[in-house]
Structure 1
Amino acid sequence: MVVPQGSLGTWDWKSIVSNMFPLLVVLSVIVLWAGITLEDAEEMLTEYAILAVMVPTMVDMGGNLGAILSSRLTTRFHLGTTELDPTDRVLWANVAAILALAATIFTALAIGAYALGIVIGSPLPLSTLLLISLVSGMSVAVIAIVFSFLATYGSYRLGIDPDDTTIPIVTNVVDVFGMVIFIGVSALVLGF
């Protein structure tokens, strides 16, 4: 079967580059925001070094959660098994799985950071680390879910293969929001 030019099933490198290049330029500018936020939080991260250890995992896991959901949604679109119907039980099961995974990961992050904090002499108690990690992490998970749906459905509706666009959009946007939310929640909890 020959796939018509411009459909979702093409592997034309020119169309992929033409779709992705402007997107990657915009996403690069957005990611600069995360770097600026991190630089502005230098004093807090210096005083509470264990938070600096948590930053890469917090940012990375948020993007990974979004990538997982985006991949699952994209596959369902390609297979023709979803229309983003609010009554779709499988769709809600995927959302619940992402939230459960987020709760598990971010609880483990707080516990791991606390254990490492004992070794390096971090003054933060486990309850504080759990509060920062879970509030930040679950907020990032919700943002990952929203952007996964928006990027996947938007790409599909625009006739762009979601496989080409969703992962870069979701991971970059969620990374930025992950950094901003983590720094904001940490500053709020610690009174910075």
Structure 2
Amino acid sequence: MVVPSGSLGSWDTRKIVTNMFPLLVVLSIIVLWAGITLEDAEELLDQYGLLAVMVPTMVDMGGNLGAILSSRLSTRMHLGTTDFDPRDRTLWANVGAVFGLAATIFTALALGAWAIGQIIGAPLGLADLLVISLISGMSVAVIAVVFSFLATYGSYRLGIDPDDTTIPIVTNVVDVFGMVIFIGVSAWWLPAI
């Protein structure tokens, strides 16, 4: 199949680099914020060591949820089966699947952290871990859904292939917000010692 050079399906290296380089620079600066937030939370993470165990999974899974939805939206756009109509039941099924997956993953994260705490003698209550994990995780899932829609639709409207932009945008933004939200919810929920 021959793809016209001006379409979203073309593979023009120069165009991809021209579109992506400024985006990657901006996203790198945004991700720096997550590192600074983590550095500022050092006291909290020292006080509650199990939170440090949860950080990588919390950040990674939020970005993965956004990547899943972005990929599905991009594929549906390329196939011509979506137009972002709020009455599109398949669109809502994809969003529902992301939230269902988030609830499952973040519940498992809390249970896993609790089990590790029991083994190493650094317990935090299961209820505390569930509250922190689910509030943080479901908030991150909402951000992942919003940025998946914005990145996919925005890329399409700008004439940029969503396959090139959505994953970097969504995963980086959700990673940053995931870190900030997780640290914020943890600080809010857990008492200071």
Q: Distance in 2 between matches of 1:123 and 1:69?
A: 35
Q: Which amino acid aligns with 2:24?
A: L
Within 1, Cα distance between the matches of 2:55 and 2:139? 15
**Structure 2 SS opposite 1:168:** helix
Aligned to 1:191: 191
Cα displacement string for residues 109-167 of structure 1 (whole angstroms, at most 9, x for unaligned residues) = 00000000111112310000000000000000000000000000000111100000000
Matched with 1:99 is 99
Work out the CA distance in 2 between the residues paired with 1:8 and 1:56. 34
Residue matched to 1:29? 29
What are the within-5 Å matches in structure 2 for residues 162-181 of structure 1? 162-181=162-181
Moved more, 115-124 or 12-21: 115-124
User: Unmatched 5+ residue regions in structure 1?
Assistant: none
In the alignment, what sits opposite 1:83?
83
Cα separation, 2, equivalents of 1:10 and 1:132: 44
Quote the residue 1:127 is aligned against: 127
Using the alignment, how far apart are the partners of 1:18 and 1:114 within structure 2? 46
Residue 108 of structure 1: aligned partner: 108
Question: Which residue number corresponds to residue 7 of structure 1?
Answer: 7
Matched residue type, 1:111 = L
C-alpha deviation, 1:75, in angstroms: 0.3
Query: In structure 2, the residue corresponding to 1:63 is in which secondary structure?
Result: helix
Matched with 2:57 is 57
Quote the Cα distance in structure 2 between the aligned partners of 1:75 and 1:191: 45
SS in 1 for 2:185: helix
Give the CA deviation at 1:66.
0.2
Q: For the residues of structure 2 that align with 1:17 and 1:27, how far apart are their CA atoms?
A: 15
Runs of 4+ in 1 over 6 A off after TM superposition: none
Identical pairs, percent: 80
Deviating more after overlay: 170-179 vs 120-129: 120-129
Q: How far apart in 2 are the matches of 1:65 and 1:37?
A: 22
Q: How does the TM-score come out when normalised to structure 1?
A: 0.98
The corresponding residue for 2:118 is: 118
CA RMSD of aligned residues (A): 0.9
Flag structure 2 segments of 5+ consecutive residues without an equivalent: none
Q: Does residue 39 of structure 1 match 2:33?
A: no
